[in-house]
Amino acid sequence: MVKIEAIIRPQKLEAVQAALEELDFHGMTVTEVRGMGRQRGATYTYRGSQYTLSLGSKLKVEVVVLDGAQEEVIDAIVKSAQTGEVGDGKIFVTQLADVVRIRTGERGEASLS
């Protein structure tokens, strides 16, 4: 099983959710994060001074899937989260050693179905 961890723009969440549901993946975990990369954060004007934040708002979407589904999920996320402009985000893929479903104690692949 792999964990696919995508950093996306906040306004793209619904699109990504929709794309995954279409492929019949319903599980995901979402975290509010702030990110920095080529893109910088927002610029504010307060009482005549300008400030640029180094970090901008992003969401981290984590989806755990069986090894075989990795490519199709990455594809779906890339397509649905893309705007083509700097700051679209990254996807990190990690191999998992195990997965457990707390409700039942099931382990491994069974716990994801």
Partner 1 sequence: MIAGILAAPLALAQDAATAAAPVAAPAPGAFSKEIDSGATAWMIVASVLVLLMTPGLALFYGGMVRRKNVLSTFLHSFIMMGIVSIVWMLVGYTIAFGHTDNGWIGDFKNALGHVPFNTPGEEASRIPAALYMLYQMMFAIITPALISGALAERMKFSAYVIFTTVWLVVVYCPVACWVWNSNGWANKMGALDFAGGTVVHLASGMAALAAAIMLGKRKSLVQKEPILPHSLPLTLLGGGLLWVGWIGFNAGSATDVNPVAISGFAATQLAAAAGMLGWMLTEKLRFGKPTALGAASGLVAGLVAITPASGYVDMLPGTFIGLAAGVICSFAVSLKSKFGFDDALDVVGVHGVGGFLGAILTGVFASVLINHDAVEPAMKAGRGALIMHQFLAAVVIGAFSFAASLLILAITKLITKGLRATEEE
Ligand X SMILES: Nc1ncnc2c1ncn2[C@@H]1O[C@H](COP(=O)(O)OP(=O)(O)O)[C@@H](O)[C@H]1O
Tokens 């969401």 belong to residue: 59
CB of 54 within 8 A of CB of 36? yes
Q: How far apart are CA 102 and CA 81, in angstroms?
A: 30
Q: How far apart are CA 75 and CA 71, in angstroms?
A: 6
Site for ligand X contains 5 (CB under 6 A): no
Q: For residues 42-101, which are near ligand X according to CB under 6 A?
A: 56, 58, 62-64, 86-90, 101
Site for ligand X contains 36 (CB under 6 A): yes
- CB of residue 49 to a copy of itself, shortest distance in Å: 18
Residues in contact with ligand X by CB under 6 A are: 7, 27-29, 35-39, 56, 58, 62-64, 86-90, 101, 103, 112
